[in-house]
């Protein structure tokens, strides 16, 4: 079962990077068209083309329906290059987004990294047609990941704790980690961490997972919501100096569709959505014989008292 979960996790992680964490690339030839603007009184909920974001879209949709709002679903409409213009022209009304990559889409030169800094910068940078509602604590971002055994043996809870061990650690992750601002240079600049070596592997996929599990590497760049973490007893180290930019889940909405009912429903989801919840939701998506997104969303909303 663990091998099954790990394989699923690797696939999900790749999808997460290509969309949520990658910030989008060119066009989306398979994206579902949004269509003309929804009718008055109707909220059209969109999502990106990967499992986590589509489930979040379903959670938003059911929360709004529970508040008496009429909803249309337009999931898997594509990357930010597709849905951001659709939000501007009103053909999509709201999507679950990731604050760090959204900020860097709107302001490519942005350097803010903490959740609060990113949110404040986004509020200032968005055009008047768009509005942020409250962001969740839950986020899907890169993280310094170790095995539970390594963390316990060395009493590690934070990247600061691991700094004295850095000269003995081989770190693994995508080749781009060597060049990115939060990668090798970021670890050196923000923590004074000089690794013994860096092993270029895949993007949160089976090579990185296997190398961390078998001890070929002692630290890895994996995503905070990857089901491979609980499946393999991996531990995400805290990042008190915000080396890895925030990627909190936040409702991005067309300003004309902001009403007290909509705001209360979606802010309620954000207030309830923890990182642990998001990891567990991803595990459920990838589980053998998984329930539908609608069933998973309904159960989570009921558990949180939001049904």
pLDDT at 45 over 70: yes
Q: Which distant-in-sequence residues (6+ apart) come within 8 Å of 121 by Cβ?
A: 103, 107, 110, 112
CB–CB of 20/98 below 8 Å? yes
Tell me: the pLDDT tens digits for 196-237? 999 999 988 899 999 999 999 999 999 999 999 999 999 999
Average pLDDT over residues 249-271: 98
- Give the integer Cα–Cα distance in Å for 248 and 59: 16
Distance set, CA 169 to CA 183, 219, 236, 237, 241 (Å): 15, 7, 16, 15, 20
Secondary structure of 227-294 in the HEC alphabet?
CHHHHHCEEECECCCCCCCCCEEEEEEEHHHCCHHHHHHHHHHHHHCCHHHHHHHHHHHHCCCCCCHH
Same fold? 31-139+246-303, 142-236: yes
Q: Specify whether the backbone of 44 is left (phi greater than 0), alpha (psi in -120 to 50) or beta.
A: beta
Is residue 41 scored above 70 in pLDDT? yes
Tell the CATH superfamily of the 142-236 domain.
Osmoprotection protein (prox); domain 2 (3.40.190.120)
Per-residue pLDDT, averaged over 64-85, amounts to 95
Q: Return d(Cα 14, Cα 64) in angstroms, integer.
A: 30
Q: Is 99 in contact with 119 (CB distance < 8 Å)?
A: yes
Predicted confidence (pLDDT) at residue 294 exceeds the cutoff of 80:
yes
Give the bridge partners for 139, in sequence order: 248
What does the pLDDT read at residue 33? 54
Q: Does position 15 have pLDDT exceeding 50, yes or no?
A: no
Asked if residue 27 has pLDDT above 50, the reply is no
Closest by CA to 48, choosing from 77, 21, 69, 15, is 77
Q: Outline where the chain has alpha helix (H).
A: 2-16, 51-66, 80-89, 99-106, 115-125, 148-153, 159-162, 184-191, 206-214, 228-232, 260-272, 275-286, 293-303
For residues 199 and 175, give the distance between their C-alpha atoms in angstroms, rounded to a whole number: 8
The pLDDT assigned to 287 comes to 86
* Inter-residue contact 243 to 191 (CB < 8 Å): yes
In the chain, how long is the greatest CA-to-CA distance? Answer: 61
Kindly report the average pLDDT of the chain as a whole number: 89
Domain ranges of the chain: 31-139+246-303, 142-236
Residue-level pLDDT at 289: 83
Give pLDDT, residue 24: 37
Over range 181-199, report the average pLDDT. 95
pLDDT reported for residue 144: 98
Predicted pLDDT at 14: 42
- Is the pLDDT at 43 greater than 70? The verdict is yes
The pLDDT confidence band at residue 10, using thresholds 50, 70 and 90, is: very low
Rounded to 10 degrees, the C-alpha dihedral 153/157/161/165 comes to 40
In DSSP terms, 199 is beta-bridged to 172
One of 3.30.1650.10, 3.90.1560.10, 3.30.70.2190, 3.40.190.10 is the CATH number of 31-139+246-303, namely 3.40.190.10
pLDDT for residue 17? 39
- The whole-number pLDDT of residue 34 equals 60
Assess whether pLDDT exceeds 90 at residue 6.
Answer: no
CB half-sphere exposure, 205, CA atoms < 13 A: 12
What percentage of residues in the chain have a pLDDT greater than 90? 81
């Amino acid at each position: 079962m663990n091998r099954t979960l790990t394989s699923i996790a690797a696939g999900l992680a790749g999808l997460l990077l290509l969309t949520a964490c990658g910030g989008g690339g060119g066009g989306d030839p398979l994206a579902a068209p949004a269509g003309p603007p929804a009718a008055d009184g109707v909220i059209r909920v969109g999502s990106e083309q990967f499992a986590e974001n589509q489930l979040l879209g379903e959670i938003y949709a059911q929360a709004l329906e529970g508040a008496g709002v009429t909803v249309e679903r337009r999931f898997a409409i594509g990357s930010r290059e597709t849905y951001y213009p659709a939000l501007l022209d009103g053909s999509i009304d709201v999507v679950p987004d990731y604050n760090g990559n959204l900020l860097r889409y709107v302001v490519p030169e942005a350097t803010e990294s903490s959740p609060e800094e990113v949110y404040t910068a986004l509020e200032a940078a968005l055009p008047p047609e768009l509005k942020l509602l409250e962001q969740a604590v839950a986020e899907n971002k890169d993280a310094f990941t170790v095995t539970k055994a390594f963390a316990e043996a060395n009493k590690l809870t934070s990247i600061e704790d691991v700094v004295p061990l850095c000269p003995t650690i081989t770190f693994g992750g995508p080749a781009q980690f060597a060049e990115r601002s939060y990668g090798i240079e970021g670890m050196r600049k923000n923590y004074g961490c000089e690794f013994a070596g860096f092993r270029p592997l895949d993007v949160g996929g089976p090579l990185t997972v296997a190398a961390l599990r078998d001890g070929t590497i002692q630290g890895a760049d994996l995503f905070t919501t990857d089901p491979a973490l609980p499946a393999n007893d991996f531990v995400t180290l805290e990042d008190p100096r915000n080396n890895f930019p925030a990627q909190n889940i936040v409702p991005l909405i067309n300003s004309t569709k902001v009403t007290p009912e909509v705001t209360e429903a979606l802010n309620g989801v954000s207030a309830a959505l923890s990182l642990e919840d998001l990891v567990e939701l991803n595990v459920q998506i990838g589980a053998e014989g998984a329930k539908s997104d609608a069933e998973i969303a309904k159960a989570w909303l009921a558990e949180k008292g939001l049904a």
